[in-house]
Amino acid sequence: MTSPTPPPPIAVIGCGMGRPHLFPDAVAALAAARVLVGGTRLLAAFPDHPGRRMPIAGPLAAVLEAIAAADSAGQRVAVLADGDGLYFGIGTTLLARFGPDRLAFFPNVTAVAAACSRLGRPWHDVLAVSLHGRTDLTPLWAALAARGAVAVYTDAVNTPAAIAARVRERGGDGFAMTIVEDLGLPGERLRRLSLAEAADVATSALTLVLIERTAPPEVPLHLGLPDEALLRRDAVFTKAPVRAVSLAALAVRPGEVVWDVGAGTGSVALEASILNPGGPVFAVERDPERHALLVENIRRTGALTVTPVCAEAPDGLAALPDPHRIFVGGGLSTRPDLLPALCRRLLPGGRLVVNAVLLGSLTRAMDTLAALAVPFALTQLTASQSSPLAGDLRLAADNPVFILTASKEPAHA
């Protein structure tokens, strides 16, 4: 008894840049299709194709169900993709819906490869992110912090001008933007601009940008930043020894959401961003002068995944994503409602680290955690710094700091 012949897979055809240029196997798959799926521009590129046309418009879920219905009816389906379907394209969505066994992919040139070819620039070191239909800019900040060069797919909201303004706001003027419009089309144009220039330009809807750092950060970002490396207005900040122990207690993992509450000028938030590649760090500071210094320290160090928030906690935390890790550097003595609010927002399995200098603040924090049934551990740290005296050295002690580490129980299935 012979096994039934499996139905032909759904063809996902990368069309490259501009006018579609297809390889012979893709041409054959397209010719065999009875249903042609794609955006309006790509469908128009094949006016003589006899198949039924299915525009990708409106909710994508409806399009996927229509593809599934055609496939179940035994109709060969071809999906047209800009560039390469598996490079920030519809291929990922199709895989989630149909799985790899029901799909056949036909690759092509991506916008990043084509743009770098036009520029004569190797692209093996260029990270690429898509802001198409996205509101979270964390991937952009993480790529710029990691490599200093990133290719960005844009959309009608995240335009080159809007992206340039956001990068300049957080990272300063140490970047340039190359705007690549209408690749492969008659109106193709390449422009290399400063961020200030790019923030005022109008561009085509089909645009990719390449953002590159043109000058290194003024302060190299690393663990154990010297206290004098950061701009600050007074001696009220988390000094290097306490910072090191607090970050170890926080145990940040890559990709997590981190809050630094009472961030001051940002010493903990900046170093937490090193331990958290790919994840956001929100530095919350209520004092406008300290917040301004925090913004400047982010620019000077290039810690672009740190988002400065000028607000008083817990009132100003409502719009932030729930955190995996919270560091509290201040505010306990003035806001008794702060710690309960933070414990509520902390994700199951998360950690909270509190620094306290005053015995009253420490006692209230321990009483609050005990009342909330949140287990905690306490470390007291006293560090001394060397100081010259009479041709020799003496040790000058910093204020003792209590480091309270609390762990929220993980969720149970």
Interval 320-363: pLDDT, tens: 999 999 999 877 777 889 999 999 999 999 999 999 999 999 99
Q: Does the structure show a pLDDT above 90 at 412?
A: no
Top pLDDT among 227 and 191 is at 191
The verdict on 184 and 261 lying in the same domain is no
Straight-line distance from the first to the last Cα atom of the chain, in angstroms, rounded to the nearest whole number: 46
Q: Which residue has the higher pLDDT, 209 or 1?
A: 209
Average pLDDT taken over every residue of the chain: 93
pLDDT digits (tens, 9 = 90+) for 258-267: 999 999 999 9
387 close to 396: Cβ distance less than 8 angstroms: yes
DSSP-H helix ranges across 13-76:
24-32, 40-44, 60-72
Q: What is the pLDDT of residue 343?
A: 95
Residue 153: pLDDT over 70: yes
Max mean pLDDT among 45-59, 223-237, 292-306 falls in 292-306
Asked whether residue 197 falls in the same domain as residue 285, the answer is: no
Q: Where are the beta strands (DSSP E) in 145-266?
A: 149-153, 175-181, 189-194, 207-213, 258-261
Residue 278 tokens, joined: 């790919």
Residue 129: give the domain boundaries: 112-213
Q: How far apart, in Å, are the Cα atoms of 74 and each of 27, 63, 65, 71, 391? A: 20, 17, 14, 5, 90
What's the pLDDT band for 3 if we cut at 50, 70, 90?
Answer: low
**Calpha distance 190→183 (Å, rounded):** 9
Q: Are residues 100 and 120 in the same domain?
A: no
Q: Is residue 218 part of a domain?
A: no
179 in any annotated domain: yes
Tokens standing for residue 5:
């012949």
Claim to verify: residue 340 and residue 248 sit in the same structural domain? yes
pTM equals: 0.90
What percent of the chain has a predicted confidence (pLDDT) above 90?
Answer: 81
Least confident range from 16-20, 188-192, 200-204: namely 16-20
Of 195, 350, 327, 211, the C-alpha closest to 270 is 327
Residue 128 sits at φ, ψ, to 5 deg, of -125, 140
Query: pLDDT-based confidence at 2, cuts 50/70/90?
Result: low
Number of domains in the chain: 3
Q: Are residues 65 and 141 in the same domain?
A: no
Residue 1 lies in a domain: no
Q: Is 146 helix (H, G, I), strand (E, B) or coil?
A: helix
CA distance 20 to 284: 49
CATH number at residue 355: 3.40.50.150
What pLDDT, on the 0 to 100 scale, is given for residue 303?
Answer: 97
Residue at 60 is within a domain: yes
pLDDT tier at 183 (50, 70, 90 boundaries)? very high
Per-residue pLDDT at 35 exceeds 90: yes
5: confidence class by pLDDT, cuts 50, 70, 90: low
Give me the pLDDT at residue 301, please: 96
How high is the pLDDT of residue 19?
Answer: 85
Mean pLDDT score, 260-282: 95
The per-residue pLDDT for 391 is 87
Read off the pLDDT of each residue in 358-384 and give the average, rounded to a whole number. 93
Same domain, 102 and 128: no
- Dist. CA 283–CA 270, nearest whole Å: 9
Q: Identify the domain boundary among 151, 180, 213.
A: 213
Mean pLDDT of 51-73: 93
* Mean per-residue pLDDT, 374-385: 93
CA distance 107 to 8: 18
Q: 233 pLDDT band (50/70/90 cuts)?
A: confident
**CATH number for position 163:** 3.30.950.10
pLDDT at 399: 87
Determine, yes or no, domain membership for 374.
Answer: yes
Of 91, 109, 127, the domain-final residue: 109
